[in-house]
Homo-oligomer: A and B are copies of this chain.
Amino acid sequence: MTTASTSPFFSTPEMDRIFSLQSQLSRMTRFEWALTWALESAGLAGAGAAAAMEPLVDADFIDVPSLLDEARQSGNLAIPFVRQLTAKVREQNEAAAASVHLGATSQDALDTALVLQTREALALILSRVEELEPLLVEQARMHAGTVMAGRTWLQNGPPTTLGLKIAGWIAALRRHRQRLGAAGERAVVLQFGGAVGTLAALGEKGAEVSTSLAGKLDLREPDLPWHTHRDNLVEVAAALGMLIGSLGKMARDVALLMQSEVGEVSEAAGEGRGGSSTMPHKSNPVACAAIVAAATRAPGLVVTLLSAMVQEHERGLGNWQAEWETYPEIFRLADAALKQMIGIARGMRVFPERMAANLEANGGLAMAEAVSVALAARIGRERAHELVRTASKRALSENRRLGEILIATPEVRAHLSEAEIDGLLDPRLYRGGAHRFIERVVGGVDAAR
């Protein structure tokens, strides 16, 4: 539980709904209802037992305060939940009460509810990814030819294009989509094993009940229960953590480009958005901050789930419980970060003239590599490197343009004409495979060229 105050920043209403207590209880009831149906099919519950439970699947009947109070004593939510459910069923159908929860253990209901929530939550995440991707694709295409400084170690280097930078984001996003798909495929699976994973309380009929229970919930049935094997859930969380990491990278790129001195890209500004309580002219990168905050928090959540994998025997002590608040939190952060990134992708403002100016700054030193490479073909990489390095240092110390110095350097001029040097120093001409790389990722660039 946290200060509600900050939740708008770190979650979305849609994800909050999926992981609300009401949603959890409703999915637990669906599990119990499907179980009763399966028991009934196998002759282990009286006719009409499932029908008696069906009206309850919204879980509106639960007395939440007393549930939470009992949960504190019993150590989990399922025990008082089953008690309340049984009482409610009895009201409707005395006989049906006898088969409520039959064969199942608390964790069966809690885990299967979690799996059902995971299915919905992953669908939400993937729908956001699908909303974000085309926005980025559009930006990448639009800025395939928008030349800007490439930056390494936070220092300006030779040019790249904004389109290539964004294409890199897109490629990462697609890999995350693959990972999330595969993780969901593995994780969305029934949990049903009874007290110690043998379904012994159902005698010979355990496997039959398990299969029809899975079918009723439209879940895959695993080979065996996985109460203390949490790798599937951790995989989902780790995939979300990686997604958030990539979003953090995008946000930091944007925030760095939005610095006052750089001014190349900016988040959309809106009324009341990113204002400062003291600095009236400021427009803060609020969306970037929210995403970077998510990227700062997600690793700590993943580490908790990884640490919690060492669960004892048939059901663990304390490590399972450590997942309860941690796992949904990663979904919340991921959804919030995606939503913020969608806002950035949609409203991003780009300032090509600042990009050009920044490339030109420092006397055109960003283009030093181009000359170095051209010279290397004539005089070897090392000598070329040496010559250009010396010229670069002179340009810096004498505050002159690199081109001027190079043109005045006899050993350079012995191999390159003034026009050649000028051409080499034009950033628009020094983009190598950038265009092709963008084309590979987003297509439709070459045509638009």
Contacts and interface: CB of A to CB of B under 8 A. Distances in A.
A377 B99 CA distance: 8
A447 interface: no
A389 to B, nearest CB: 4
Nearest to A438: B224
A332 B1 contact: yes
Interface stretch (A76-84, A126-134, A411-419): A76-84
A275 B79 contact: yes
Contact of A261 (B75, B186, B248, B261): B261
A280 interface: yes
A167 B224 CA distance: 8
A195 B1 contact: no
A245 to B, nearest CB: 3
A106 interface: yes
Number of copies: 4
B315 A307 contact: no
A111 interface: no
A270 interface: yes
B8 A285 contact: no
Contacts of A280: 368-369, 372, 385-386, 388-389, 392
Interface in A110-152: 149-152
A24 interface: yes
A281 interface: yes
8 contacts: A3-B328, A5-B25, A9-B75, A10-B324, A75-B286, A158-B279, A172-B231, A281-B395
A230 B241 CA distance: 12
A403 interface: no
A408 interface: no
Given A98-B380, A312-B151, A273 B157 contact: no
A403 B45 CA distance: 27
B249 A228 contact: yes
Nearest to A272: B73
A210 B434 CA distance: 13
B260 A155 contact: yes
Contacts of A396: 281
Q: Which 10 A-B pairs have the closest CB atoms?
A: A150-B196, A292-B318, A245-B309, A281-B392, A200-B432, A300-B304, A296-B322, A152-B315, A224-B437, A156-B260
B310 A299 contact: no
A297 to B, nearest CB: 5
A198 interface: yes
A310 B324 contact: no
A164 to B, nearest CB: 7
A213 interface: no
Contact of A441 (B68, B224, B326): B224
